[in-house]
Each structure stands twice: as C-alpha cells, then as structure tokens.
Amino acid sequence: MLQIGCHLSTSKGFLAMGKEASAIGANTFQFFTRNPRGSKAKAIDQKDIDELLKWMRENHIQNIVAHAPYTLNPCSDKEQTRQFALETMADDLVRMEYLPNQYYNFHPGSHVGQGVETGIHQIVEALNAILKPEQTTTVLLETMSGKGSEIGSRFEELKQIIDGVILQDKIGVCLDTCHVYDAGYDIVQNLDGVIKEFDNVIGLNKLCAVHLNDSKNPFCSHKDRHEKIGEGYIGLKAISAVIRHPKLCHLPFCLETPNELEGYQKEIALLREKFAQL
C-alpha cells in the first residue's frame, strides 16, 4: 500500500489533521511542531493526541512526520541562535513522545561562513546533546538544495553528521526530491544511480521518509523552490518512478507542493493511480 500524504496545518489540532488527511485520500502526513518561524509551541492536549492515535489505528495511518521550524539553525555563527535551536529541538523531542515511534525532520542548518567542517561539528554536538536513549522518535536530517551555506546538500555531509552522533539508531534521513535535484543529484535521468549513491555513502537503511516535490528550477540550480507535481523540471514521470522504485516504495511520501487541500487531494489521487499502473 502506497503511503502518501501532504503537509497539513496544525492550527485545528491533531485529530483534525488525521481527519483532514483521510478526507483527501492521504494515509500519512507532515506538520510543523510549532509556528514555522519558531515561536512557542502550544500546550499538549492529551485528549486530542489520544484521539489522533485512535484515528490513525482505525484509518491505517502508520507514519507521520513532524517538521522542526525551518528557521532554526543549529550551526549558526551566533551562540544564542545555536542555543535556541538546541532548546527548541529538545522541547520538540519531549513533545514527540506523546506520538510514539514517529519521525522528527529538521534542516541541518547553514554554516554562514564558518565552513562545512565547523557546521557539521556544531550539528553533531547539538544532536548529541538532545538525543536520549529512551526516546522512541527517529530524528531525520533533510537533504538540502545547497542554497547559501546550507549543510546537507551532499550525501557525504549527512553521513559525516550521522557518524558523529552517538545514538545512531535515533537518526535517519528524509530525502526531498526538489532539494536533491536542485543539489545536483539527477533523479530524472538517473534515479537508480542516485539511489545507489545514497546507499553507498549513507546506507538505504537510514532512509526513513521522502518529501515529494517538483522543482521550479532546473537541475543543479541550488535554489529550493517547490513546484506542483508535473509542473516543474522534475516532471510527473520521474516523480512516479520515485514512488514506484523497489528501494523506496515502502517509505512514507509527503507532498510539500504549493497547494491548498484540494490541490493535494488531486495530486494524491494522481500518484496513487501512477503507483498502481504496471
């Protein structure tokens, strides 16, 4: 069964997200743990969470992905910014345990001129400070497009972060199709080659989720602007090949395309149809 869904708004609560997902044909979804610009998180509503967990069991939703605020930067050149990222992520991970055994995705960060090695070192330190042996959440490093001084646009950089982490079973990777294409991994012409490279450098056992996006920009543009499925440079054929690939097809796929719910519903239906085609 294809696991496909999209990014949903948390504003109406957790059960509302589960219901919204089911209503548009999704059986997985992603949400921000708090305002994406990184403000205070809402208090945990145990009843709402319990209702979502029940809804997930009844509606065969296994995997959901929480996304950290994208403004956090665990490898900033400012101590205060790094500390804020660390504290916010630590708080998010405590809250994630109310939704046991799920994923928490974050952008590794931008080294802002400090250099890749320093950036990676700071990210590793942050992860080693916040990961706990007893947590059930897997923290995912998102593959990035490499705009500005972003870390994580090369598989080697993600591997280096993973290697530095002490609790390695708590860490995985989320592959974003727009980001890897913009970063210079040609999933249109050579999907097999990219998957082999991921396996050789990081190991496919670390790949836990996929962000399914088309790209507004051509190959290797280092831009990171998502497009609707089939309307960008990646195209429907290549996106369909991603969800049907034998090494990927079991993963949860989350759309982060510029859409309202109705647009997501259409993309989910279209991709389910492509998935079912022989």
Q: Rounded to a whole number, what is the distance in angstroms from the first to the last CA of the chain?
A: 14
Residues 6+ apart with CB under 8 A from 199: 247
Q: Which of 111, 159, 170, 211 lies at the binding interface for Fe ion (CB under 5 A)?
A: 211
**Would you list the DSSP string of 136-193?**
-PEEEEEP----TTBS-SSHHHHHHHHHH-S-GGGEEEEEEHHHHHHHT--TTT-HHH
Q: How far is the CB of 103 from Fe ion (least distance, A)?
A: 12
- CB nearer to Fe ion: give 15 or 151: 151
Q: Which of 176, 224, 227, 267 lies at the binding interface for Fe ion (CB under 5 A)?
A: 176
Choose the one of Zn ion, Fe ion, none that binds residue 211, judging by a C-beta under 5 to 8 angstroms depending on kind.
Answer: Fe ion
Q: How far is the CB of 58 from Fe ion (least distance, A)?
A: 28
- CB nearer to Zn ion: give 95 or 107: 107
Q: How far is it, in rounded angstroms, from Cα 80 to Cα 256?
A: 30
Q: Find tokens 């369909």 and name the residue.
A: 240
- Contact track, Fe ion, 131-160, x by CB under 5 A: -----------x------------------
* Pairing, β 252-255 against β 138-142: unpaired
Query: Using CB under 5 A, which of the segments 62-70, 104-112, 221-229, 265-273 binds Zn ion?
Result: 221-229
- Contact track, Fe ion, 108-127, x by CB under 5 A: --------------------
- CB nearer to Fe ion: give 111 or 211: 211
Q: How far is the CB of 216 from Zn ion (least distance, A)?
A: 11
Choose the one of Fe ion, Zn ion, none that binds residue 224, judging by a C-beta under 5 to 8 angstroms depending on kind.
Answer: Zn ion
Q: How far is it, in rounded angstroms, from Cα 234 to Cα 97?
A: 36
Query: Using CB under 5 A, which of the segments 18-26, 95-103, 156-164, 203-211 binds Fe ion?
Result: 203-211
Q: Which two tokens stand for residue 30?
A: 């992603």
- CB nearer to Fe ion: give 92 or 176: 176
* 227 touches 263 (CB < 8 A): no
- Residue 256, classified by CB atoms within 10 Å of its CB into exposed (0-12), middle (13-18) or buried (19+), is middle
Q: How far is the CB of 105 from Fe ion (least distance, A)?
A: 6
Phi, psi dihedrals of residue 175, rounded to the nearest 5°: -95, 125
Is residue 226 near Fe ion by the rule CB under 5 A?
A: no
Q: How far is the CB of 50 from Zn ion (least distance, A)?
A: 32
Residues 6+ apart with CB under 8 A from 273: none
Q: How far is the CB of 153 from Fe ion (least distance, A)?
A: 13
Q: Which two tokens stand for residue 214?
A: 């088309």
Q: Which two tokens stand for residue 225?
A: 């602007």
Q: How far is the CB of 224 from Zn ion (least distance, A)?
A: 5
- Give the max Cα distance, the chain: 53
Q: Which of 48, 182, 214, 224 lies at the binding interface for Zn ion (CB under 5 A)?
A: 224
Contact residues for Fe ion, defined by CB under 5 A: 142, 176, 211
